Every structure is written in structure tokens, then in C-alpha cells.
Structure 1
Amino acid sequence: MRYENRADAGRNLARRLEHLRDTDAVVLGVPPGGVPVACEVARHLDLPLDLAAVRKLRVPWQPDLGFGALGEHGVRVLNEDIVRESGLSTAEREALEQTERAELEQRVRRWRDDRAPTPLTGRSAVLLHDAVATGAAAEAACRVARARAADRVVMAVPVGQEDALAHLRTVADEVVCPQPLHHLGSPGAWYEDFAPVTDAEITALLATMRRPGPAAGRDLSQERPSPGRAVEVPTRQVRMPALLTLPPTARAVVVFAHAGSVGRYDPRSEHVAAALHRAGLGTLLLDLLTEDEERNLHNVFDITLLARRLHAAATWLCRETGLPVNYCAADTAAGAALAAAAADEDVRAVVCVGGRPELAGPAALARVHAPTLFVVAALDTRLLGCTRLAADWMHCDHRVEVVPDATHLFTEPGTLDVVAELTRDWFTSHLARVGAPVLQGPP
């Protein structure tokens, strides 16, 4: 099985680590490639994210050949066989180690933004890497967790070399790998997208997942989003009724767009919105049409009108909150959300739940830059066909998720929970863009 990217691999691993939910575990990404994997696991299991910072030691004249790894807290792992075969002298090896340790320390300060690491004393450490070949970096990461007084060490990796995994079982308390291979080859061969992970991405992912500490006299862990307050979003023609909810220290806000006059009270939208609130996302449940306008079916299918109003709402919302804006839409508003996103590169991400995304048209769909998720009911074959058609016209990062045994309203038991989880994970995984600041909501 090939993974779509590191985030996809993380979601796959998260399902195998469900037993760690509701524990005191800390998820540790092994940089660089293990951090996006770890971020998905931490998000899915609702656990804190940190680093187990290591740096590989490579033979200078054969960079693909690693002879060991360094880690925080003075950790060092060497493959003595490779050291001997490479012909490295003791002086050369020590000089390399000194250089690489200085580089590691500099990068750790940059990644963590000079913040203290998450305490591991007496807790379980769950380490994530994107692949294990020789196992030196993974072993060093395990030893870093031990040095930080972790009570239990779990190493999880999407794909790995069997003999390296066997050695890791002597270092970690548990090793999880859905694809142990006799011959791994190039780790990138097991991913559709194995682009290098930059320092900026690592810093952004850590900042996105960072949980604010308790302020003096307040226990933020007990706070809940305030009830949604009724607002009116101005446009040139009408003022659109909406419900705005901002959790404490919201990280972004999602516009739930409906091509009708009662969408903001739709219990399905409220159910999905509640999942986003728990993930630290604000929501604006918005009606794009007034009651009078909705009576004219032409307005319901007027994608240009709906997209223009949605763009106006996003502009107003960004001005009012200072937060990144995302779109979530159903019915014909799905097409409007994509048409609006095609004209606005500031939109972070889009989720279409069923609906009619193909109504945006091929030209608009080809211009969408925002990562887009389509959530479709398996039994709604007509809309599934419309969605696949829309997806075929897109060039941006996008995915079609089919919810098994669901009809188009997702009324079957458990199906709406799946929709909420997919929507939450898509938005939270696309909060941080490379080089973009992580914004905080108003106090």
C-alpha cells in the first residue's frame, strides 16, 4: 500500500494507536519527516505534540550512507560496522559529530521557538517517523525519550525494514508498523508525495498544535465555546443572518454556507460545528439567501450570486476576527464555496459535504488553490458522480471521502460523526501554511 502523503500515513497510524486515547501520552515527531505524521496522530488522539529531535550522521563522501544518529540530551547511536567499512578515522568521526550536534541544537531552538519541551517524566512517549531504513534515527529518538524520563516508549512508523524494526523492539516497549518489509528500498517509493519537510513547516505544525497553558486564575481546560451569537453580515443588497461562535483562543474560523434561509439552524451543521469548536475552530453558520429570495429557485442555483455573498462574508469575518477563513458548504452552496475560493487565495481550506460542487464550473474549479475535501454518502450515487466530475477538474490538493452505508442526509447511525471527524481533521491539518503566521483569536 502506498500512502498519499505523510499526513495520510499519520491518519492510518492513528487508527492503530486508538488505545492511547485518553491517556497521559505525548506524541513526539522525529524530524523532519516524522513531524507531519505525528501531527495527524496527535490531532486524531487529542494528545500534545512535541519533538524527539535527532540528526543523522552521514559518511561525507557517500551522503546516502548513514553511520549513526545524534539526539538531544547527548544521545548518540553508532553503527560500528558502517564506521569500519567507511574508513572514517576517529578524528573525522568526532569532527562530524561536533558539527552535526551544533546544527541539531540550532534547529531545535528554531523548531521549538525557544519554548521548553513538553515534560515526559512518568508518561508514555509515542514516537512517529515517516519510514525506518537502518533504524539509527528511530533508535536515537527512543533513547531521547528515555533520557527525558518517559515511563513507556512506543515507536510507530508507516513502513519499515524488518531487521531494523526487530532491533527497535529491543529499544522501545512497543513497535507499531502496518507495513514491515523484507526490502524497503527507497522510503519515498511508498508515498505518492514525499517532498522534503522544511524547517518552516515543522515550526508551523508545532505552533498549530501548541496548547495554551493556563492563565493566572483560569483553567482553560474547563472552558467551553460561548453560545453562538446572532450577527448580520452586510452585503450591498441584503444583511445575511448568521450565528458566530468563537472558542477561547480560536485558531481559525469556518464559514458554514447554506443556500437557504434556515441553514444556520440545521442540526447537522450544528453537530459538525461542535466538533470544530472542540478542536479550537470558530464557526459562522450563514444563510446566503433571505426567506423571500429562497422562494425563487433561480436564486438557489445562482452560483455567481451565492459566491459573491460568501466572499463578502469571508471579508467581513476576517476583518472582525483577524483569523484565517475556511469554507464548509452543502447543497448548491458547495459550488458557490468553490467558485468563491477560486477568486480568493486567502481561503485556507474547503470542505464540501455532499452538495453540487460541479456547479462551480470547470474554469473556476481549475483555479481553486485551497486544499479541498469532498465528503459524499456512498448510497448517493448521483451526487457521488457529480463530485468525482468536479474533482477531475481540479489541480489543487483535494480528496474524495466516501462515507459507507450513508444516504445524502447522513441520517444513518454514526455517519454524521464520520462527517464531523473528516471535516475537523481536514481543517486542522491545513491551518498552517509554510511561512504563514499562526494567528490567535481575540480574548
Structure 2
Amino acid sequence: MIFRDRTEAGRLLAERVAETVGEGEHALVLALPRGGLPVAAPIAERLGADLDIVVVRKLGAPGWSEFGVGAIAEDGPPVYDRDNLRYARTTEQDMAETLAAERAELHRRVHRYRGSRPAPPVTGRVVVLVDDGLATGVTAHAALRWIRGRDPARVLLAVPVCAPQARDLLAPETDGVICLSAPPEFSAVGYWYEDFGQLTDDDVDEVLRRFHHALK
């Protein structure tokens, strides 16, 4: 399944999510910015749910920044992938400098996207975490741990496309993983989109502004 863009993927995914989450459940849809937000907006609209973000940063191996060995979410502790740490021949202690830099960037993005607004209340709610795809699943893992620590009623993970091993890894962290396509030969998330353009902070602002303006 090849998606035209993130918005189309979100509309298709919304129909599947609606089979599990009812409009009367006062759900909270949380997107991983930047790429998860255009996917999440149609889902929140379909469910009549609140839309917000949970800010996450990948922790790349020293000297190999694209290879994620862990991640951090909001004010939560780092979550590491033990197999990836071993593969990269690095340790949590080796990650101290990277962790500090990514924590600083995470705080910048939280302030940029949310300002003085507090993190969305999660306790007792049905939460749907959304991203544009799962490769290793390391950033979604950190976000799920952060959400779980705030005592939701249920937490679901919804993505248009995922690597089967990432889906299986994260399933125990959720009350359900909803994925439209899990190709055995996954490659990379962008491979499954015709338009997978890089998004900016301004794009995040625009999606949130459009969504909340439509509710007025």
C-alpha cells in the first residue's frame, strides 16, 4: 500500500481507528511531531476527539546519529533499545552527551509548539498515539511509556505503515496496535509515501491552528 501523502494516510487510518474508539469516548489523539501530526488530524476529526502532541527525540548512536538506540519523551527518562545499543557497540553511559543535547532540543520544541500551555491531561482517557510510520519504533516506545505513566484508561498506537518487528515489539506496551500495512520488506517509512516531504515547525503550527479553528 502506497499512500499519496500523510493526510490521505490519516483519513484511511481514521476509519480503522473508529472501529475501535467510539465518538462518545472523549478520546485524546496525540501526534508525534512533526510527521505524525498531518496523520493524526483526520483521526481526531473523525472521532470528534481532542488533538495534541507529545514531543519525542530519538537518541542516535555516537558517530551514527541516524541509528536510533533510544529516545526521550517530554519530561520522561530515556528509553533504550538494548539490541541496538549492542549493535552500535555503545552504552548508556556513552550516550550522556547525546542525551543532554537532545533533551535541550526537546525542551526547545515543547516551548515552540506549546508555549506556556501545559501537557495534555491523560489520566482516565482513551489515548490514541499517532505517527506516520514505525521503523524501529524507538520514539513511539518512549512516547508510550510517557503516556502509560499518566494513567490513561486505554492507549492505542495507530500508524499507516510499520515494520512487523516494530509492531510486535510495541504491542505489549499498548492496548492495541492499528497499522494499515506491515510489509515484510519494510525498508523505510518514506518508501511507502509518494509525498514524504520534510515538515517544519511552521507546518506543525498550521495543522494545530487549522484543526482548532475548525472546532470553533
- In structure 1, the residue matched to 2:64 is 62
5 Å matches for 1:221-370? Answer: 251=213, 279-280=214-215
- In structure 2, the residue matched to 1:390 is none
One-letter amino acid of the counterpart of residue 185, structure 1: S
Taking the aligned partners of 2:77 and 2:3, their CA distance within structure 1 comes to: 31
Contact in 2 for aligned 1:165/1:175 (Cα 8 Å): yes
1:140-172 alpha-carbon deviations (Å, 9 max, x no partner): 111121122212100000000111101111101
Secondary structure at the aligned position of 1:63 is classed as strand
* Bigger Rg, which one: 1
Taking the aligned partners of 1:209 and 1:7, their CA distance within structure 2 comes to: 13
1:68-123 alpha-carbon deviations (Å, 9 max, x no partner): 11112323211122223323355430111111111101101111132122211100
- In structure 1, the residue matched to 2:4 is 4
Taking the aligned partners of 1:129 and 1:148, their CA distance within structure 2 comes to: 20
1:391-433 alpha-carbon deviations (Å, 9 max, x no partner): xxxxxxxxxxxxxxxxxxxxxxxxxxxxxxxxxxxxxxxxxxx
1:334-372 alpha-carbon deviations (Å, 9 max, x no partner): xxxxxxxxxxxxxxxxxxxxxxxxxxxxxxxxxxxxxxx
1:30 to 15, 32, 44: 32
Unaligned stretches of 5+ residues in structure 2: none
Secondary structure at the aligned position of 2:132 is classed as coil
- In structure 1, the residue matched to 2:131 is 129
1:156 to 155, 158, 176: 158
Taking the aligned partners of 2:92 and 2:118, their CA distance within structure 1 comes to: 34
One-letter amino acid of the counterpart of residue 61, structure 2: V
Q: Percent identity?
A: 38
What is the Cα-based RMSD across aligned positions, in Å?
A: 1.6
In structure 2, the CA distance between the partners of 1:51 and 1:93, relative to structure 1 (3 Å rule), is: same
- In structure 1, the residue matched to 2:183 is 181
2:167 to 165, 168, 178: 165
Contact in 2 for aligned 1:110/1:203 (Cα 8 Å): no
If asked which structure has higher relative contact order (CA below 8 Å, sep 6+), I would say 2
5 Å matches for 1:102-117? Answer: 102-117=104-119
Quote the offset at 1:202 in angstroms: 1.0
Taking the aligned partners of 1:60 and 1:34, their CA distance within structure 2 comes to: 26
- In structure 2, the residue matched to 1:191 is 193
In structure 2, the CA distance between the partners of 1:134 and 1:280, relative to structure 1 (3 Å rule), is: closer
- In structure 1, the residue matched to 2:18 is 18
Unaligned stretches of 5+ residues in structure 1: 211-250, 252-278, 282-443
2:51 to 30, 49, 52: 49
Q: Which segment is superposed worse, 80-89 or 69-78?
A: 80-89
Taking the aligned partners of 1:71 and 1:186, their CA distance within structure 2 comes to: 22
Secondary structure at the aligned position of 1:170 is classed as helix
Taking the aligned partners of 1:22 and 1:188, their CA distance within structure 2 comes to: 34
Instruction: Count matched residues.
Output: 214
- In structure 2, the residue matched to 1:93 is 95
Secondary structure at the aligned position of 1:143 is classed as helix
In structure 2, the CA distance between the partners of 1:168 and 1:91, relative to structure 1 (3 Å rule), is: closer
Normalising by structure 2, we get a TM-score of: 0.92
